[in-house]
Amino acid sequence: MEPLRLKTNHRCVPALQQFYTGGPFVVSSDGSFIACACGESIKIVDSANASIRSTLDADSEPVTALALSPNDALLFSSSHSRQIRVWDLSTLKCVRSWKGHDGPVMCMTCHPSGGLLATGGADRKVLVWDVDGGYCTHYFKGHGGVVSCVMFHPDPEKQLLFSGSDDGGDHATVRVWDVSKTKKKNCIVTLDNHRSAVTSLAVSEDGWTLLSAGRDKVVTLWDLHDYSNKKTVITNEAVEAVCVIGAGSSFASSLDQQNAKKRDGSQTFYFVTVGERGIVRIWNSKGAGCIFEQKTSDVTASIDEDGSRRGFTSAVMLASDQGLLCVTADQQFLFYSLECTEELLQLNLTKRLVGYNEEIVDMKFIGDDEKFLALATNLEQVRVYDLASMSCSYVLSGHTEIVLCLDTCVSSSGRTLIVTGSKDNSVRLWESESANCIGVGIGHMGAVGAIAFSKRKRDFFVSGSSDHTLKVWSMDGLSDSMTVPINLKAKAVVAAHDKDINSVAVAPNDSLVCSGSQDRTACVWRLPDLVSVVVFKGHKRGIWSVEFSPVDQCVVTASGDKTIRIWAISDGSCLKTFEGHTSSVLRALFVTRGTQIVSCGMSLSVADFVLYNILIACVINLINVSGADGLVKLWTVKTNECVATYDHHEDKVWALAVGRKTEMLATGGSDAVVNLWFDSTAADKEDAFRKEEEGVLKGQELENAVSDADYTKAIQIAFELRRPHRLFELFAELCRNREAEDHIDRALKGLGNEELRVLFNYVREWNTKPKLCYVSQFVLFRIFNIFPPTDIVQIKGIGEFLEGLIPYSQRHFGRIDRLVRSTFLLDYILSGMSVIEPEAQPTESKAEFLLQSEIDIPDKENGIEEKDHTREITTSKKRKSNKSRHGSHKKVKDVAYNKVESIQLKA
């Protein structure tokens, strides 16, 4: 057995994020990415694994229309604000924007040449814009209602624009417009055959047949030679999208193979329709007959407020034989491929991307290899995701109400099983590989909010309900060849608590089961008869989670009182208490062979009974509580220490799953995000050791460069090591040596924008200290001399740095000015004391005369008189002495001293 290593850190990988909340979307020409409307923003999503490449934040209004240029370089968007924006996808910046419609823009499309953009709005107008100039080139009026779809003719030579609308009542039209500059800007023809909103337009490959689909349950084929109605196809469902199948696509090849002949020229083509029934149908244009219809729908059709069903909302034929993409009303992207086997067509669902998962209530890993993850959201279905591609592999449908809890296991026969509990008061047992329900358990009188498989024998499971009862269900009677679900039987029932049961757990040896309730207690029961063993009392609020230790005779509980407790099964005493969460702890599980605990919770100031009602009734989306930040914490049992805290969720974390073998963590909550957590303790240690080793080598290299007076290299290394003190010492040394300015210039020229940003940060800190300000001002002077202002303004956060530099710089220069002015006073005082000669004093001839008179002294007495006379002439500002003339001996000494000093200064 490997030695036990405690975990200290985890690396978070956002595995599943919301990227589509319904509305417009557009697929790239090569099918590599999808631009989706997600509320008030636009998500650029990788179609391979549903990862978000980038996010475009437009404005505070929901996005209403999207379009891509033919080369996928530009993205056009509009929202309820009526602002049309052009985004450069290489820089993710809005290059231009304008307004033109009087109402929201409902649809838009780009010309095959990429130079024109057509928009249709709720103001009944169709406008054509020049993409480069942003001005309107064509202004089309004539529709009697909201313009629902627009489309340019795919042939750039044919300057035609098609638009469809809902004119109100039982009237809808398709209009054809001429967008050539040589003809009048008017409507060529109005095609009137629909009685409800026109939802989709398509043109055949030969360019002479226009297809229009509407919610009046018909598809009309129009001849573009004379704009006559060629055929009207009755679909018996409201059609949301119609797509033409290309002649060279895999769909067309399979259809030709099924028909045992090739299509006869360009007069015949195939097209796809999708609509409210949630099925895909393929039609032949020649006979207007349906040649393929999907037997079972992969969609759960939703019911709108007006009572109409909505299955598919849109469809697109992908390029490069990638198949068909259909979008559902519940924000799912379904990728289909068509195969022909034994002259039978089969439509295969190859990928399912879910744009929005709502609230994530519970989750579990599936199978021994743990490559799949089952999610219970506030829906009637359970979605199972492939962790490699994060596509929804299959959906478990059968419950009539919201699924609240689930658990998984691998049976003794090797079958992967999933058990679910729902608000419909029932439990269901599923076989994972076939995605079939193999057992149904009915008996609870309230919502089933907790469920758990046995750990060893795996031949039973336990459920807890809001009816305060605990049930043990037997899985006897299950066979591998079952096609119809059996009725599961309860082996034991007990009224376990006084309030709703939130969580149940089965001991590793299948001898005990523990239940946690809203009545603030957790109870341990002996299986299989559910005999009470011990009751854990001590929590001040409801218990949300219970779990047995894999190695010790103890149980961990998580409560709404913000604490986690470990209890002894032998006597029910509380062994340890973990405090650190700021609000209710919703999940707590053992990891690292029972030596550590991982927990998740939230930060809310709301009573637990409200939270429970939110969870059970699944009205979480109706209550908005500010400041809800989900936290994930890692604890060490022995020391009661919180090793790490992670804040990667924007809202409450309801679900926590731990892999049995890999101990990979998965968390999900109210933000509809699933995060996967991988143990990075060993990798972090290796990185720390490697960085330390590199730091030692770099440090020695830095000292060698300083000793060799190679300051350019030394400054670069100091930047790499992020050593601001050593960097300051280098700049200070260069500042003292003015001849070394070329070293600074060479070092600064080699810095990039990020390094300049770091340098500005250092300089800002140095500039706040008077002792260091001289070096900081010197570095700033060199920076502004070397780099032009256009480069400096490109530095991230330069405005903040300058705001911190300006006030301190003004203070430093003000102090220097005061020092300079104070030196003038010193000069004045010294001049008055005749210590220095004033600049505007006697001329050079006078000075020479004084010097000569001092040298040619005939005798001591005459010299004294001459000195006194000279002193009166040359030092008019000298204070007069009140002493008597007989003190002349002292005066002689003073005067002689002053004259000598004056001579020395002149010399």
Residue range 178-229, pLDDT digits in tens = 998 755 667 899 999 899 999 999 999 999 999 999 999 999 999 999 999 9
Tens-place pLDDT, residues 744-796? 787 788 777 888 888 888 888 888 888 888 888 888 888 888 888 888 888 88
pLDDT (0 to 100) of residue 182: 58
Residue given tokens 């089969």 in the structure block: 346
Q: Which residues contact 116 (CB under 8 A, 6 or more apart)?
A: 110, 128, 129, 130, 131, 137, 152, 179
| Rounded distance between C-alpha atoms, residue 111 and residue 154, angstroms | 8
pLDDT (0 to 100) of residue 150: 97
Dihedral sign for Cα 349, 354, 359, 363, please. positive
| Rounded distance between C-alpha atoms, residue 696 and residue 161, angstroms | 68
Average pLDDT of the residues of the chain: 84
Residue given tokens 């006194």 in the structure block: 868
- Which amino acid makes up residue 58? A
Tens-place pLDDT, residues 642-683? 999 999 888 889 999 999 887 899 999 888 889 999 999 888
Burial annotation 192-204 (CB, 10 A radius, 16+ → b, else e): ebbebbbbbbbbb
Which H or E run contains 829? Answer: helix 798-832
Tens-place pLDDT, residues 545-598? 999 999 999 999 999 999 999 999 999 999 999 999 988 999 999 999 999 999
| Rounded distance between C-alpha atoms, residue 610 and residue 542, angstroms | 11
Q: Which of these, 657, 231, 756, 734, lies nearest to 452 by C-alpha position? A: 657
DSSP state of 488: P
- Which amino acid makes up residue 436? N
pLDDT (0 to 100) of residue 603: 53
Q: What is the CA radius of gyration of the chain?
A: 42
Burial label, 888 (beta-carbon count in 10 A; 0-12, 13-18, 19+): middle
Q: Which of these, 106, 216, 85, lies nearest to 163 by C-alpha position? A: 106
Q: Answer whether residue 801 shows pLDDT above 70.
A: yes
pLDDT (0 to 100) of residue 646: 92
Residue 302 confidence class, pLDDT cut points 50, 70, 90? low
Which H or E run contains 581? Answer: none
Cβ neighbours of 887 (radius 10 Å): 10
Residue 49 three-state SS: coil
Q: Answer whether residue 330 shows pLDDT above 70.
A: yes
| Rounded distance between C-alpha atoms, residue 759 and residue 765, angstroms | 10
Tens-place pLDDT, residues 385-434? 998 888 898 999 999 999 999 999 998 888 899 999 999 999 999 999 88
Q: Which of these, 135, 175, 133, lies nearest to 151 by C-alpha position? A: 175
- Which amino acid makes up residue 386? D
Q: Which residues contact 566 (CB under 8 A, 6 or more apart)?
A: 549, 554, 555, 556, 574, 575, 576, 577, 637
Asked if the bond preceding 24 is cis, omega within 30° of 0, the reply is no
Tens-place pLDDT, residues 673-713? 899 999 998 888 888 888 888 888 888 888 888 888 887 88
Tens-place pLDDT, residues 508-539? 999 999 999 999 999 999 998 999 999 999 99
pLDDT (0 to 100) of residue 300: 72
